[in-house]
């Protein structure tokens, strides 16, 4: 196990009806003039936004609103949010929605207190030194942004999808009410499940030795997803299954599963180009890319792939031919994601093999490498995309 510092300062408030207390938590963390940031009309139609506003009114906290966040959140709305926060002298941002809303709120938070272009933080030209504080009311278990140090935004000029990471952008509090996810379409629930599992895979496939504790944490999250996701696909109002999935999503990405171990993240980078170009759901893109990546890099450490196949997927260990067990685990992953309605290849995403060169160009891989488990060059990335075409 490697040396590490683990920092997770977010206050998590979990359970039914807790969104009605959002105002008290905003006040607890010093908010007096709030930007309520949200996505489409579901927060309005469901009455969630009204409940959140009522909680702010109860605490005599003033607010302004900015809706319209879309999946794969765009830079244009971030710029609009920054301008609004400066004009209205906002001192706290409350994100009501899923990972896209929270990521957009984080970008607005750091951009409001920065003299330059917020994109500097997403293009590695600047380091986050301060931000407006963020709180969240989560409506989908997926991205884990409610507890993470990350944010992903798409720059509309060139459609570049890039990430920013800093402990300073971790939310001050996050309200997690599993009931708020019960009205999600099956497809969104499934996309969220893939995202959660992919966050675990990025940490599980590591070159770091002697990480049994975090291996077991990763495996526990994966086993929970395998158990609980089919339950909510059958019965969307299964509160207990929703609760387990929602907490698994947070654990998968606040980095407790990644402490002390080298992490990879190549699959996410490869997928970001897909969702930037085709505007597909992030989870759907990961369902195509993750198994393709696993197939391509498996021989680097067959034993690790065989381990997850046995411990998580229940495959029989073939000691004479461990590669058979490893491949069986990848096949089991593909089968599970297919069973919950996820795509399996480029065609299922309406992606085109002839666009691979364009994907590689925007990936900006020339002269560098991607990932850590296996350091991928441009040719490696092309090979993975082509596996994803024929899977």
Q: What's the CA gap between 136 and 123, in Å, rounded? A: 25
Residues contacting residue 200 through CB under 8 Å, at least 6 positions apart: 218, 221, 222, 252, 257
Q: What is the pLDDT of residue 64?
A: 98
Q: How many CB atoms lie within 10 A of CB 213?
A: 13
Residues contacting residue 338 through CB under 8 Å, at least 6 positions apart: 344
Question: Which has the closest alpha carbon to 184: 75, 350, 39, 20?
Answer: 39
Cβ atoms of residues 267 and 326 within 8 Å: no
Domain boundary among 180, 215, 236: 180
Residue 327 lies in a domain: yes
Number of domains in the chain: 2
Q: What is the pLDDT of residue 391?
A: 82
- Whether 193 and 273 share a structural domain: yes
Q: What's the CA gap between 305 and 295, in Å, rounded? A: 10
- Whether 230 and 309 share a structural domain: yes
Residue 281 lies in a domain: yes
Pair of tokens at residue 283: 């989870």
Residue 6 lies in a domain: no
- Chain-centre distance for alpha carbon 83: 26
3-state secondary structure of 301: helix
* CATH code of the domain containing 74: 3.40.50.1970
Domain boundary among 157, 180, 203: 180
Q: What is the pLDDT of residue 75?
A: 98
- Whether 147 and 198 share a structural domain: no
Q: How many CB atoms lie within 10 A of CB 254?
A: 23
Show the DSSP H helices in 184-281 as ranges. 186-204, 212-234, 239-253, 266-278
Q: What's the CA gap between 126 and 135, in Å, rounded? A: 24
Q: What's the CA gap between 309 and 291, in Å, rounded? A: 13
Q: What is the pLDDT of residue 67?
A: 97
Cβ atoms of residues 326 and 306 within 8 Å: yes
- Whether 175 and 192 share a structural domain: no
- Whether 48 and 91 share a structural domain: yes
- Whether 131 and 56 share a structural domain: yes
Instruction: Report if pTM > 0.75.
Output: yes
Q: What is the pLDDT of residues 36-91, one digit of tens each?
A: 999 988 888 899 999 999 999 999 999 999 999 999 999 999 999 999 999 999 99
Question: Which has the closest alpha carbon to 131: 65, 85, 80, 69?
Answer: 85
* CATH code of the domain containing 260: 1.20.1090.10
* pLDDT tens per residue across all 391 residues of the chain: 999 999 999 999 999 999 999 999 999 999 999 999 999 888 888 999 999 999 999 999 999 999 999 999 999 999 999 999 999 999 999 999 999 999 999 999 999 999 999 999 999 999 999 999 999 999 999 999 999 999 999 999 999 999 999 999 999 999 999 999 999 999 999 999 999 999 999 999 999 999 999 999 999 999 999 999 999 999 999 999 999 999 999 999 999 999 999 999 999 999 999 999 999 999 999 999 999 999 999 999 999 999 999 999 999 999 999 999 999 999 999 999 999 999 999 999 999 999 999 999 999 998 999 999 999 999 999 999 999 999 8
Domain that holds residue 59: 11-180
Residue 1 lies in a domain: no
3-state secondary structure of 177: coil
Q: What's the CA gap between 76 and 319, in Å, rounded? A: 54
Q: What is the pLDDT of residue 38?
A: 97
Residue 211 lies in a domain: yes
- Whether 144 and 230 share a structural domain: no
Q: What is the pLDDT of residue 60?
A: 98
Q: What is the pLDDT of residue 36?
A: 98
- Whether 196 and 336 share a structural domain: yes
Residue 4 lies in a domain: no
Residue 325 lies in a domain: yes
Q: What is the pLDDT of residue 42?
A: 86
> What distances in angstroms separate CA 194 from CA 81, 150, 185, 209, 336, one per listed residue?
30, 18, 15, 26, 10
What residue ranges in the chain does DSSP mark as E strands?
Answer: 11-14, 33-38, 62-66, 92-97, 134-138, 150-155, 160-165, 173-176
Residue 2 lies in a domain: no
Q: What is the pLDDT of residue 41?
A: 80
Range 94-127 burial, b when 16+ CB lie within 10 A, else e: bbbbbbbbbbbbbbbbbbbebeeebbbbbeeebe
- Whether 71 and 138 share a structural domain: yes
- Whether 210 and 327 share a structural domain: yes
- Whether 239 and 142 share a structural domain: no
- Whether 197 and 173 share a structural domain: no
Q: What is the pLDDT of residue 230?
A: 98
CA quadruple 272, 278, 281, 282: dihedral, nearest 10: -10
Question: Which has the closest alpha carbon to 227: 314, 298, 166, 322?
Answer: 314
Domain boundary among 159, 180, 201: 180
Pair of tokens at residue 290: 């993750």
Beta bridge partners of 154: 74, 161
């Amino acid at each position: 196990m490697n040396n590490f510092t683990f920092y997770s300062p977010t206050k998590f408030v979990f359970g039914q009806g807790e969104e009605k207390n959002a105002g008290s938590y905003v006040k607890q963390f010093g908010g007096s003039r709030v930007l309520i940031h949200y996505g489409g009309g579901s927060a309005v139609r469901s009455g969630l936004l009204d409940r959140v506003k009522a909680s702010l009114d109860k605490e005599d906290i003033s607010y302004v609103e900015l809706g319209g966040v879309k999946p794969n959140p765009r830079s244009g709305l971030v710029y609009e949010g920054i301008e609004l926060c400066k004009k209205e002298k906002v001192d706290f941002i409350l994100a009501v929605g899923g990972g896209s809303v929270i990521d957009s709120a984080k970008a607005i938070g750091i951009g409001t207190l920065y003299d330059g272009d917020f994109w500097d933080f997403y293009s590695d030209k600047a380091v986050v030194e301060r931000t407006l504080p963020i709180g969240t009311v989560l409506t989908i278990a997926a991205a884990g942004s409610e507890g993470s140090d990350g944010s992903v935004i798409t720059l509309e000029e060139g459609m570049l999808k890039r990430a920013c990471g800093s402990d300073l952008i971790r939310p001050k509090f996050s309200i997690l009410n599993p009931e708020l996810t019960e009205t999600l379409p099956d497809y969104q629930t499934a996309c969220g499940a893939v995202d959660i599992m992919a966050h675990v895979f990025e940490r599980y496939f590591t070159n770091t030795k002697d990480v049994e504790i975090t291996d077991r944490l990763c495996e526990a999250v994966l086993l929970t997803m395998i158990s609980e996701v089919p339950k909510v696909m059958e019965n969307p109002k299964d509160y207990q299954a929703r609760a387990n999935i929602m907490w698994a999503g947070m654990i998968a990405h606040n980095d407790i599963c990644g402490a002390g171990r080298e992490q990879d993240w190549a699959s996410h980078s490869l997928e970001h180009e897909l969702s930037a170009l085709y505007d597909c759901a992030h989870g759907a893109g990961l369902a195509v890319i993750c198994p393709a990546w696993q197939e391509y890099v498996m021989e680097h450490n067959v034993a690790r792939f065989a381990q997850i196949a046995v411990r998580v997927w229940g495959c029989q260990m073939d000691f004479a031919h461990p590669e058979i067990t490893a491949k069986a685990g990848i096949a089991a992953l593909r089968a599970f994601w297919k069973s919950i309605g996820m795509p399996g290849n480029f065609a299922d995403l309406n992606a085109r093999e002839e666009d691979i060169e364009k994907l590689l160009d925007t990936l900006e891989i020339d002269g560098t490498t991607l990932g850590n488990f296996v350091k991928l060059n441009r040719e490696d990335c092309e090979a993975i995309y082509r596996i994803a075409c024929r899977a």
